[in-house]
Amino acid sequence: GESVGLHLPTLSVQEGDNSIINCAYSNSASDYFIWYKQESGKGPQFIIDIRSNMDKRQGQRVTVLLNKTVKHLSLQIAATQPGDSAVYFCAESLDKLIFGTGTRLQVFP
Amino acid sequence: GAGVSQSPSNKVTEKGKDVELRCDPISGHTALYWYRQRLGQGLEFLIYFQGNSAPDKSGLPSDRFSAERTGESVSTLTIQRTQQEDSAVYLCASSPNWLGQPQHFGDGTRLSIL
């Protein structure tokens, strides 16, 4: 069946370093992908999206990379800040959004 | 501008009672979604609405769960005869149209069944 999974359940980085959060998806027909950030007690917050006809998209301090050959998605956060600490979810979409279980990003000084 | 609003933010009830959760989507968004999130878990799709109709109810866990939407706006998720395993955060999201667009989430209703 369809599934989206994450390689690292917890990622710890030092403030100022770059963070890379990885995600594997299983449905090669998925054509739309989203990264969300969820802080404790809050709903998921949209970060960035990418369509299957692209392999890279940049936002403010964030970059999403899509490798359709190996069905891999990553989120890069530049100059990680304490406010980036949260759980990050990737989601793939074909007929509906399928979310992964999330990666917790911890930023330490 | 106003985002997705959910009420109540917290609900504690006894096993066997019925509960009703409310979602006010972003104005003009035709698509509305309900998810369940258990502690430390990802989001589990329950149902979505396109306008007032629900083309996909496949995620509803049992016939104790139902949802409706009126006026292409407010939606309610009803859980009848609640069980302890229903304890979770119930999240609502909306988007301008179905598919290919980011969903905007509310902060959820934290449901605790005693």
Specify the DSSP element, H or E, that contains B13: strand B10-13
Q: Which of A42, A49, A98 comes nearest B102 by C-beta? A: A49
A10 close to B (CB below 8 A) = no
pLDDT of A26 strictly over 90: no
User: In sequence order, what are the residues at sequence separation of 6 or more whose Cβ sits closer than 8 angstroms to the Cβ of residue A58?
Assistant: none
pLDDT digit string, tens, across residues B72-102: 899 999 999 999 999 999 999 999 987 678 8
The type of residue at B69 is R
Residues 71-100 of A with CB under 8 A from B: 89, 91, 93, 95-100
| Phi, psi dihedral angles at A80 (to 5 degrees) | -55, 135
- Calculate how close chain A gets to B11, using CA atoms only, in Å: 14
pLDDT of A97 strictly over 90: no
With CA atoms as reference, report the closest residue to B99 among B50, B59, B34, B51: B50
Q: What is the pLDDT of residue A59?
A: 95
- Assign residue B6 a region: left if phi > 0, alpha if psi is -120 to 50, beta otherwise? beta
Q: Which two tokens stand for residue B79?
A: 């859980």
pLDDT of A83 strictly over 90: yes
DSSP category for residue A17: S
Q: Which of B43, B56, B106 comes nearest A99 by C-beta? A: B43
pLDDT digit string, tens, across residues A51-70: 999 999 999 999 999 999 99
